[in-house]
Amino acid sequence: MCRHAAWLGSPRPLTSLICEPEHGLLRQSYAPRLQRYGTVNADGFGMGWYDPAHTEPVRYRRAVPVWTDANLPALARVARSRCLLAAVRSATVGMPVEETATAPFTDGRWLLSHNGRVTRDAVRDLADDLPGAAESSCDSAWLAAAVFSRRRSGLPLGEALAEVVAHAGAKAPEARLNLLACDGASLAATVWGDTLFLHHDDRPGGGVLVASEPLDERPGWQAVPERSLLLASSGGVHVQPL
């Protein structure tokens, strides 16, 4: 399993997801509070953010524990955006531990993270030439490639996630399919087999924070129901059954 988090709202640095909160992703990498499978997330980490000067997101990934990267604190302080996504990884047994297997995965404007596990056979028929289209041979990269294929065909981000999760979940009932994706202007997430929490501040300067588990002790964190799709944009936050 993994832990991931994303922000959509007024500009803020990546430290707001990783090391500033008491229970940010740095701490969740070695002491997660609500993780159902696995005890540490030391098989890599990654983060992505959007710079107005570029059409595609900026991405930084490593296949080492997040606490071992001496360059990360300074980088996370200056990586500032209206839309952020970060993840720490606990690799599925048998999956490679390498940068290409580490979230976030990307295609064009999109970033995607997967918290869970699924057999590759359950997603093999979701896209043409899936092994060749994926960044890595790991299960999460295959899921990402399937979602990106649907986005390129014109499906909205939330519908692309929902279709892939419903298909994979039907073929592999034991799969855990918490996906978190963004495109710079919107977020979409699925809850299927693990926890996801939402903190929404609609006041000026606020925004939407989504995370596998609460990053701090502030009031207002809400658990997103199991088998749900969460959609967030400038128009608000919506949660619907999958």
Q: Catalytic residue among 2, 19, 83, 138, which?
A: 2
Is the pLDDT assigned to residue 129 strictly greater than 90? no
Burial of residue 69 (CB within 10 Å: 0-12, 13-18, 19+) is middle
pTM of the model: 0.96
Read off the pLDDT of residues 168-207 as tens digits, 9 standing for 90 and up.
999 999 999 999 999 999 999 999 999 999 999 888 878 9
Is the pLDDT assigned to residue 38 strictly greater than 90? no
Cα separation, 146 vs 148, whole angstroms? 6
pLDDT at position 160: 96
Is the pLDDT assigned to residue 1 strictly greater than 80? no
More confident residue, 45 or 1: 45
CA end-to-end span of the chain, whole Å? 21
- In terms of CATH architecture, what is 2-241? 4-Layer Sandwich (3.60)
Read off the pLDDT of residues 2-37 as tens digits, 9 standing for 90 and up.
999 999 999 999 999 999 999 999 999 999 999 988
DSSP character string of 110-172: EEEEEEEE--GGGTGGGSTTHHHHSSSSSHHHHHHHHHHHHHHTT--HHHHHHHHHHHHHHH-
Whether 2 is catalytic: yes
Whole-number average pLDDT of the chain = 94
Read off the pLDDT of residues 46-98 as tens digits, 9 standing for 90 and up.
999 999 999 999 999 999 999 999 999 999 999 999 999 999 999 988 888 99
